[in-house]
Structure 1
C-alpha cells in the first residue's frame, strides 16, 4: 500500500471544463485539482472555500453588498470565499486550480 504520491499539477488536464482530480478527503473537506478553460457558474457554497491558482490566470468575480467586484488571480494567488460569498471564476485561457471545500459543495 502506497502512503504518498506526487501530482504534477501542470500536467493535469481534464476532458471537460472544471474536470477534477480528487486528491484527498480530510474528514469531510475535499481537496481537488481542477482544470478548466471556461467560466464556472455564479454560486454560494454552504461552507468556506479556498481557491488556489496553480497555473494560469483566473478573474474571480464576487459580490459584496450587491456590488460586483473583480480580482485577477495569477499563479500562486489564493481567494478565500467565506460562507455566503457569491462568486464565479473566469479563467483567462487554460488554468489549473486547487479547491478546498466542504464535501458536496457545488
Structure 2
C-alpha cells in the first residue's frame, strides 16, 4: 500500500518521476516539471492527468494542430500515434499511465 501527497512531490530536474506502480507492464508515474517536454509519439496509449497546476497540451490530429489548457483534474488520452507535447504553466504535477518503457 502507498499513500502519496502529490502536491509535495518535486524533482531535481524537469519531468522527474516518482514510480508509483507497474501493473503487468503498464506504469503509473507522478511527474514534476516546470519546463515543456519534446514533441513525441508514444508507441502505446497514454493517459495524462494533471494533478496540480496547469498544462497546455498541444497535439496534432489529422494534420491539424490543437491546443488545450488543462487544469488540475483534467485528463488527456493519447491514442497510439498521437503526436503531442505538454507545456506546463509554471510548476505542474502530472500522473502518467502508459506502457512500460514508453517515451
Say if 2:2 is the partner of 1:5. Answer: yes
Q: TM-score, normalised by structure 2?
A: 0.99
Structure 1 residues without counterparts, runs of 5 or longer: none
Runs of 4+ in structure 1 off by over 6 angstroms are none
Please state how far the C-alpha of 1:5 moved relative to its aligned partner. 1.6
Describe how 1:1-106 pairs up with structure 2 within 5 A: 4-106=1-103
Larger radius of gyration: 1
Query: Which TM-score applies when normalising by structure 1?
Result: 0.96
- In terms of fraction of residues, the more strand-rich structure is 2
Gaps of at least 5 residues in structure 2 are none
Alpha-carbon distance, 1:67 to partner = 1.1
- Shift of residue 66, structure 1, vs aligned partner: 1.5
CA distance in 2, matches of 1:40, 1:5: 27
The Cα offsets for residues 6-46 of structure 1, whole Å up to 9 and x where unpaired, read as: 10000000000000000000000000000000000000001
